[in-house]
């Protein structure tokens, strides 16, 4: 790894370390959001563009650095901006932040991983280059896969950036709507588990499976033609 890559990696590690050193995670809790909701809403009413811009910037940083707090930020978006605008701001911030994490992982580690495991990853890279959008939609929709791991893992493959951005932008819409809608009724929520219920997670999983239908059909068709 050259000096430029080491410097970027060091900056990223330092920023993450500062987040935990100053215990900034205390601001990304449900209790903190409920306590400060009125203040945030009042500030937004007087400073709409500044508040929206600051929120998107915070979401970008949180996602790009793979920091905890995405769920609380999504709830905050619904509580402050409403469901429609909150969903829009969440999607903008999360997509840009995810793209930055993707690019960072690709710049820092892609060549090293591909040179070391290239032959083993050839089939995976080929699949992602041709059907990457379907796989990414599945991963985004099914709640079993951590958001930040998908960002970093995709960057180590040959998935095109445009595919990653489109899949992320579309794939996170359902989750954004659910959390922003819950945030609009923040007073009734006592735990994040009340938002991500088994019924909601099951619905996401079903949507994710639908995203894989074209892939499964193509594989079935190829297998049948081969036979």
pLDDT of residue 61: 97
**pLDDT mean across residues, the chain:** 90
Please name which of 66, 58, 63, 133 lies closest in space to residue 94, comparing C-alpha atoms: 63
Find the radius of gyration of the CA atoms of the chain: 19
* pLDDT surpasses 90 at 17: yes
* pLDDT surpasses 80 at 75: yes
Mean predicted confidence (pLDDT) in 39-49: 96
pLDDT in tens, 108-155: 998 888 788 767 777 777 888 888 899 999 999 887 789 999 999 999
pLDDT of residue 227: 58
pLDDT of residue 118: 67
Q: Kindly give the residue spans of alpha helices, DSSP state H, lying in the chain.
A: 3-21, 30-46, 48-64, 70-81, 83-105, 111-141, 147-155, 161-171, 173-184, 198-226
Q: Where does residue 99 fall: left (phi above 0), alpha (psi -120 to 50 degrees), or beta otherwise?
A: alpha
216 or 174, which is more confident: 174
Q: How far is CA 177 from CA 36, 148, 170, in A?
A: 22, 19, 12
pLDDT of residue 210: 86
Please give the Cα distance from 123 to 222 (Å, whole number).
16
Q: Take residue 137 and report the two structure tokens written for it.
A: 């939609």
* pLDDT surpasses 70 at 226: no
Q: Name the band, by pLDDT with cuts 50, 70 and 90, for residue 39.
A: very high
pLDDT in tens, 184-214: 998 888 888 889 888 888 888 888 888 888 8
């Amino acid at each position: 790894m050259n000096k430029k890559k080491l410097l970027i990696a060091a900056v990223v590690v330092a920023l993450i370390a500062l987040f935990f050193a100053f215990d900034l995670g205390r601001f990304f809790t449900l209790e903190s959001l409920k306590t400060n909701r009125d203040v945030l809403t009042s500030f937004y009413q007087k400073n709409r563009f500044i508040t929206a811009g600051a929120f998107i910037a915070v979401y970008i940083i949180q996602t790009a650095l793979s920091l905890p707090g995405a769920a609380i930020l999504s709830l905050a978006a619904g509580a402050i901006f409403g469901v429609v605008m909150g969903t829009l701001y969440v999607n903008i911030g999360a997509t840009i932040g995810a793209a930055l994490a993707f690019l960072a992982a690709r710049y820092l580690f892609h060549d090293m991983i591909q040179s070391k495991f290239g032959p083993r990853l050839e089939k995976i890279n080929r699949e992602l280059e041709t059907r990457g959008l379907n796989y990414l939609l599945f991963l985004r929709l099914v709640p079993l896969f951590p958001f930040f791991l998908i960002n970093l893992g995709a960057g180590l493959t040959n998935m095109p950036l445009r595919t990653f951005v489109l899949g992320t932008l579309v794939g996170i819409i359902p989750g954004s709507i659910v959390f922003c809608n819950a945030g609009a009724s923040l007073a009734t929520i006592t735990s994040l588990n009340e938002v991500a219920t088994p019924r909601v997670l099951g619905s996401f999983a079903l949507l994710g499976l639908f995203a894989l239908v074209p892939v499964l059909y193509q594989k079935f068709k190829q297998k049948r033609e081969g036979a």
